[in-house]
Structures are given as structure tokens and as C-alpha cells.
């Protein structure tokens, strides 16, 4: 159980909401069961309870949204983001914030109208037929023994997709029910909350005939903007902020951020191990020993524990860990230079300014370099288009269909091999290429096998895989996916489809209609969309009806758009989501007042190639590391890669001449901001301390208008 659930461990704040949601859901179920026993028929909650009743149950369940309504304090109006994303939108403080529900662009489709997933009752018919088992679909349609190379792009493009997805969404799983029977989902093939096992009908994965599967954690907040019936439908939680804000580096909760911070505005680094050039690695997790895999061939070597970062999934694969490592080093490099440029800045200002820069470059790489390659330039113009400024009417929260289906398109681009290359971008003499399954939860391969460079060169120097209807997802992740030291073999494709059913996602055709695309009605229609008659025929033979096709599989099967790595449905859904994330973010890097024009010009100089040059031992790169090139003719020296000039962040100290430096406080710090032309010191406390007094003091008439607060 520990091994299976490790990669979805959540922060205390998320666990609190999860438990409250369980109490809320269980209370409703108990009431329904008792009424059914008395009156011998099923009732919906809306027939039994008034709005006032539901408000009371929400409060008694200790749902945080009911007990602690959001109020945007002066500290939330700072020039920096809150760590949770709350109060980004001042009128709707929870939009885009961590630990809020994934939004619905189409109403959920549950078998009981409220919470039972599609396929929960196996005998239920859809359009006259049972839904096919996800495992059957995975083995008959999705699984591919080989993959074609992408002629245009490197593996880094694929890994950036996973990396940036971890900055936008994380749906925690209900690994153990705190208020129900405590059912052990790893030893049961029955659909009993919170278990929704994937039936296998084969013996390759589990002798029981199923793969363990935990339902996603529900949200417990009854949103007053919806009618009661829609509000009571089970909604899934996004445990992290939906903004592109580098939360996977810094965390989405004060608790985690406080652990990740180091001295002098830097991030904490590993005190036990360094790379051969003494560059830092990510810190180890605090609870030792961890469950990450070890080198069984060299048992006498020191243990290499799981790393910790702002996102709990940092150890899922070596490329992901390497991107985290590069940005840890980049934060500390920038922080050190900013301190040299502005030696009057305190640690809080250095940290927040650096975090602001790192968040901005995440946005730039994603919008400028990544998305046009994924959805194609035409779809980018159609669904995203030029930036017009911050729009407070746009809800930037991640959509359920985006998190659960559309942005999982990348699973079809995963290569079965992760190359390790030497300085000449040839196969490494000491470290052989790795099968993808050998990269999961194995940070020891970085620490003990040459640092990040061999794999990093493999990421930028090797071709990505491309999905096609005949070769969708590599066997490495449908047959050999492992989670820590679990004995279970997992199937990523089956899990994707089961997750979509768990979330009550409408089918493929409904989403085509949502995007203004023509519905698929016949085998001929499906063949045109897929681009292969035999594949379309096989799909329809298994599903029996076109309206039963799962949205993830349907979207993955579509022929790729010109110059894109997705078909038209996923291009639409990804484009719509990214536009909302951009336009609904008050702190978007190019929004008015976030950076000066000079700073914006410097930010545009940033590239992943420069990141690699500044934070690794790789000395030659491609100008665009997402592109595929041939060594040495397409590569250039790092000396020719542009870099940001941080002099654009040099700050004059003229304002401080009016009031001198504001007082420091114990267990807290301040940042300086300008509001209505006046200098303001905004104080905040370290995690675990409560602010006593005014959070803000203002420089007026040559003096501060109050005393600094205390942190108790």
C-alpha cells in the first residue's frame, strides 16, 4: 500500500480537505440509505435536503471553504503571488488556487447522476452495450511494441510536457478512506469506495484478475454558483495551483515552501551529495529511509534517497528529476546575482524576486517554445492568439477534461528508451541506455552514474517518439510501468481511461461537439478522423457504438494536425485551457505592471538551452533544445547562446531615503511595495507563526506610520 500510494502523497492542507470531503460524501450516503430502507426506493439528495441543510452538513464536515471563507488581506495584495494562488483574482479568490475543484466545461456523467463512475455497475448498458474494459482497450488498441522517431523534435519536448503538467494539475487519490471501512484496495477486485479496480481478464498483471485503482479525492465545497444538483455531483480536487507559476519548484502550500527554502533567499540543497563539479542536487526527503529504488548491483554503496521538490512527483522519472535540478540551481544562481546587484535587498525580497523570474520563464518557454509545436501554429492562433492583458472575468482553474484526458496526450510520445550520451553526443562509454521502466524512482542513477549530464545530453540529443493510430503508447508504460518497489505491474493507458470514467467525463463525441467539430456517427466517419480504416474498425468492434468511445483514447487516435503533435480535439482543449490560464492570471509575465519593459526584454532572452549551459557541464547545445539536430553541425557553443542581463533588476534606493529601512521582525520578514505612490512595507510570518498587528506600514511624511507587527 505504501509503495503504491507514494507518488500521490499529499500535503496536510490537502489531506484536511480530503477528509472533510469524505465526511460530507459519507453523510449524504448514510441519509440516502436510511431513506431507501424506509421507503423502498432510491432518492436523490436534492429530494431530501434543502440548501440550508447542505450548508449545515458542509460546515459540520469541517470543509475549509465553509469554516474559513477567503478574505484577501493586504499581504495578498502584494506585488508577488501567494504560494497557494489564492487571491490572484480579487473578486473570485479561489479561482486557480490550490486545493480547489477541477472545473467542468461539460456536466459530469455519473451512473447515479451524482458520484458513481462509468463502469461502476458492469451490467449497465450504454447505447445498448456494456462499456469495454480499459485493459482490453489498452491491449487491443493502445499498446505498441515499437515507436517511430519524431523527425523534428527531441525527447526534451516530451519531458517538458510532463514537467509543465506537474506545474498545473495534481489530482490526489483516495488511498485510504478515513471514515469508511478502510477497504484495502490492493487486495480487492470489488467496486467498493474508494476502490475502482481495473478488471484485467488476464493473469499477467495480478493473480486476482485486476489492477488496483484508487478513486480520485473529491472536493467537499458546495459551490453556490451552481444549482444544487450540479453542485452535489462529485468533483475532483486539484491539489496545486492551476497557474503556470513554477509551483513544482516552490510548492503550493506554506508548509512545503517553508521546508524548501534555504538561507539568503535561496532554495535548500542536498547536504549529503553533490555532483562531480560540486554542483548541488535537490534535498532528500525528511522522512528516512524513503522507498526509492537502490542499486542492487552495488549494495555497499551509500543509499540515495528520494529527492524532495515543490511537487511530490519529482522522482517519477529521471528526466523530470533533472529538470527540477536545473531550476533549483538556476534559482540559486539568480538569487546570488540579484543580491550582488541589490545588496540592500533582504532575504524575502531576493527569494520573491527570483521566484517571480523563474515563474515568468516557465510561462515563456511553455507559450513561446512548447505549445506551438504541440497544437500547431494555426491552432495556436485560433485558440490562444495574441495576449490582450489580464482579464478578471476569465477563470484560470484547470478543467477536468484537460487534466484527465487532453494533456495526457503526451503518453503517446514517450520513448521506450532513454539514451545516455557522452560529450560528443554518442552512446556513453560507461553508462548504457536505459529502458524507460528502469528510470522510475531511481535517483541513484543520477548521483552514482555521472550526474545529470549523460541523461541530459540524451534528452536534447535524441529524437522524441511520435504517436500514430497504429503505434499509440509504448509497452514500457502499458506493461512495465512500476511504482516504487511495488510488485504490481501497472498500465498507464488503462489507468487513463479508468480515471476518465472515475471523473465522469463525457465521451469523445460530446467533446468534439463542444469544440465545434463534426460528431463521428459511422465507421466511415471514424476512419476519416483516425486516418486508418482497419484501426477504426477495430475500435468500433470493441466499443460497439461511437458514442461510447472514451475521450482520452478518441483524442489520441485522431490524425495529427499539420505541424502539430495532437489531433484537432486535443488541440482545441489544450488551447482553450492555456488561454484561460494566461488571460486569467493577474501576475502573467507580460501583464501591465508586472515587469518593466527592460526586464521583459531580458526575460525573452531566456531559453532552455541557456538554462542547460548555466547549470550543467554541457558545453554545446542546439539554439532551441526542443528541436532535433545532428551533432556537431547543428550544435553551437554555450558562448553563443543569449542570456538574461539581470542588471535590468537593479533598484535605486531613493525611496528608502524618505523613511530609512523598516524594522525587521523575528520569525517573519517583509517586502517593499508601492501602493498609490506610497512606499509600503508588507510583513508576513514564517509558516507556523501568526501575525499580530498590522501587516502593512506606510512611509508617510518621512516616517513609517506604525510599528512592525509580531509573529507569535
Binding site as annotated, residues: 411
Q: Of 7, 166, 331, 503, which residue is the catalytic one? A: 166
Is 631 within 8 Å of 425 (Cβ atoms)? yes
Phi, psi of 71 (to 5 degrees): -130, 120
Residues facing residue 279 across a β-bridge: none
| Cα–Cα distance, 174 to 711 (Å, whole number) | 35
Distance of CA 681 to the CA centre of its chain: 33
Nearest CA among 123, 126, 64 for reference residue 94 = 64
- CA 592, CA 600: separation in Å to the nearest integer? 11
* Cβ neighbours for 93, distance < 8 A, ≥ 6 positions apart: 70, 71, 72, 76, 86, 87
Q: What is the C-alpha to C-alpha distance for residues 245 and 361, in angstroms, rounded to an integer?
A: 9
Quote the cell numbers at residue 447: 548521483
Active site residue 433: no
Say if residue 489 is exposed, middle or buried (CB neighbours under 10 Å; 0-12, 13-18, 19+). middle
| Bind-site residues for heme b | 411
Q: Could you report how far apart the first and last alpha carbons of the chain are, in Å?
A: 39
Distances in Å between the Cα of 651 and the Cα atoms of 95, 335, 344 are 33, 15, 9
Query: H/E element holding 350?
Result: helix 347-364
**What's phi and psi for 491, nearest 5 deg?**
-130, 105
β-pair partners for 238: 100
Question: Which residues 6+ apart lie within 8 Å of 558 measured at CB?
Answer: 529, 530, 566, 567, 568, 569, 570
Q: DSSP labels for 459-482?
A: HHHSEEEE-BTTB-EEHHHHTSB-
Let me know: does 473 contact 377? Beta carbons within 8 Å. no
Q: Pairing mode, if any, of strands 463-466 and 148-154?
A: antiparallel
For residue 301, give the DSSP letter.
S
- How far is the C-alpha of 708 from the C-alpha of 712, rounded, in Å? 13
172 contacts 236 by C-beta, under 8 angstroms? no
Residue 323: all three cell numbers together: 529538470
- Inter-CA distances, 8 with 85, 176, 622, Å: 21, 12, 35
Q: Are 96 and 391 in contact (CB under 8 A)?
A: no
Is residue 418 within 8 A of residue 458, CB to CB? The reply is: yes
CA 121 to chain CA centroid, nearest Å: 31
- The partner residues of 675 in beta bridges, in order of sequence, read 678
Name the residues annotated as catalytic.
166
Amino acid at each position: 500500500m505504501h509503495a503504491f500510494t507514494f507518488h500521490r502523497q499529499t500535503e496536510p492542507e490537502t489531506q484536511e480537505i480530503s477528509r472533510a470531503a469524505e465526511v460530507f460524501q459519507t453523510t449524504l450516503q448514510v441519509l440516502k440509505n436510511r431513506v431507501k430502507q424506509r421507503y423502498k426506493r432510491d432518492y436523490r439528495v436534492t429530494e431530501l435536503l434543502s440548501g440550508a441543510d447542505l450548508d449545515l452538513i458542509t460546515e459540520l464536515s469541517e470543509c475549509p471553504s465553509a469554516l474559513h471563507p477567503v478574505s484577501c488581506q493586504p499581504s495578498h495584495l502584494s506585488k508577488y503571488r501567494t504560494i497557494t494562488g489564492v487571491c490572484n483574482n480579487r473578486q473570485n479568490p479561489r479561482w486557480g488556487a490550490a486545493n480547489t475543484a477541477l472545473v467542468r466545461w461539460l456536466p459530469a456523467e455519473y451512473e447515479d447522476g451524482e458520484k458513481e463512475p462509468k463502469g461502476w455497475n458492469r451490467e449497465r448498458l450504454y447505447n445498448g452495450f456494456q462499456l469495454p474494459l480499459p485493459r482490453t482497450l489498452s491491449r487491443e488498441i493502445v499498446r505498441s511494441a515499437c515507436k517511430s522517431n519524431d523527425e523534428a523534435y527531441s525527447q526534451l519536448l516530451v519531458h517538458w510536457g510532463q514537467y509543465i503538467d506537474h506545474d498545473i494539475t495534481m489530482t490526489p487519490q483516495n488511498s485510504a478512506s478515513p471514515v469508511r471501512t478502510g477497504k484495502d484496495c490492493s487486495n480487492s477486485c470489488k467496486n467498493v469506495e474508494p476502490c475502482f479496480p481495473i478488471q484485467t481478464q488476464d493473469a499477467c498483471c495480478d493473480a486476482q484478475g485486476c489492477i488496483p485503482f484508487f478513486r480520485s479525492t473529491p472536493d467537499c465545497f458546495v459551490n453556490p454558483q451552481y444549482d444544487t444538483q450540479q453542485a452535489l455531483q462529485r468533483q475532483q480536487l486539484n491539489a496545486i495551483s492551476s497557474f503556470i507559476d513554477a509551483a513544482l519548484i516552490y510548492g503550493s502550500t506554506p508548509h512545503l515552501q517553508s521546508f524548501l527554502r534555504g538561507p539568503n533567499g535561496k532554495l535548500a540543497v542536498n547536504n549529503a551529495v553533490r555532483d562531480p563539479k560540486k554542483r548541488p542536487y535537490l534535498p532528500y526527503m525528511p522522512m528516512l529511509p524513503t522507498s526509492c529504488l537502490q542499486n542492487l548491483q552495488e549494495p555497499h554503496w551509500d543509499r540515495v534517497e528520494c529527492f524532495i521538490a515543490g511537487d511530490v512527483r519529482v522522482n517519477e522519472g529521471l528526466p523530470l528529476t533533472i529538470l527540477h535540478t536545473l531550476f533549483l540551481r538556476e534559482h540559486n544562481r539568480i538569487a546570488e546575482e540579484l543580491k550582488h546587484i541589490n545588496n540592500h535587498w533582504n532575504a524575502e525580497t531576493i527569494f520573491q524576486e527570483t521566484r517571480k523570474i523563474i515563474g515568468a520563464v516557465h510561462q515563456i518557454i511553455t507559450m513561446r517554445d512548447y505549445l506551438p509545436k504541440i497544437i500547431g501554429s494555426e491552432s495556436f492562433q485560433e485558440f490562444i492568439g495574441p495576449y490582450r492583458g489580464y482579464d478578471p472575468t476569465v477563470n484560470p482553474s484547470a478543467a477536468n477534461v484537460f487534466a484527465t484526458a487532453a494533456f495526457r496526450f503526451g503518453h503517446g510520445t514517450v520513448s521506450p528508451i532513454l539514451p545516455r550520451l557522452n560529450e560528443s553526443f554518442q552512446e556513453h562509454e560507461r553508462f548504457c541506455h536505459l529502458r524507460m521502466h528502469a528510470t522510475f524512482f531511481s535517483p541513484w542513477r543520477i548521483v552514482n552514474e555521472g550526474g545529470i549530464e549523460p541523461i541530459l545530453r540524451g534528452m536534447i540529443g535524441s529524437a522524441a517518439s511520435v504517436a500514430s493510430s497504429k503505434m499509440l503508447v509504448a509497452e514500457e508504460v502499458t506493461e512495465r510501468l512500476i511504482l516504487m518497489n511495488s510488485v504490481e505491474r501497472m498500465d498507464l493507458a488503462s489507468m487513463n481511461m479508468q480515471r476518465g470514467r472515475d471523473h465522469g467525463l463525457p465521451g469523445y463525441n460530446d467533446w468534439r461537439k463542444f469544440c465545434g467539430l463534426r460528431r463521428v456517427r459511422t465507421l466511415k466517419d471514424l476512419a476519416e478522423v483516425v486516418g486508418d480504416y482497419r484501426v477504426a474498425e477495430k475500435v468500433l468492434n470493441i466499443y460497439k457504438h461511437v458514442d461510447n468511445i472514451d475521450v482520452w483514447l478518441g483524442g489520441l487516435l485522431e490524425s495529427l494536425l499539420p505541424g502539430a503533435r495532437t489531433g484537432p480535439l486535443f488541440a482545441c482543449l489544450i488551447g482553450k485551457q492555456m488561454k484561460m490560464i494566461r488571460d486569467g492570471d493577474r501576475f502573467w509575465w507580460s501583464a501591465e505592471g508586472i515587469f518593466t519593459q527592460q526586464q521583459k526584454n531580458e526575460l525573452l532572452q531566456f531559453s532552455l538551452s541557456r538554462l542547460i549551459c548555466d547549470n550543467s557541464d554541457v558545453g554545446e547545445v542546439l539554439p532551441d533544445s526542443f528541436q532535433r539536430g545532428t551533432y556537431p553541425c547543428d550544435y553551437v557553443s554555450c558562448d553563443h547562446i543569449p542570456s538574461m542581463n539581470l542588471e535590468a533588476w537593479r533598484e535605486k534606493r531613493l525611496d528608502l531615503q524618505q523613511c530609512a529601512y523598516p524594522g525587521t521582525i523575528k520569525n517573519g520578514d517583509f517586502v517593499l511595495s508601492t501602493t498609490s505612490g506610497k512606499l509600503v512595507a508588507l510583513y508576513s510570518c514564517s509558516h507556523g507563526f501568526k501575525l499580530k498587528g498590522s501587516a502593512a506600514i506606510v512611509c508617510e511624511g518621512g516616517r513609517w506610520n506604525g510599528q512592525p507587527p509580531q509573529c507569535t
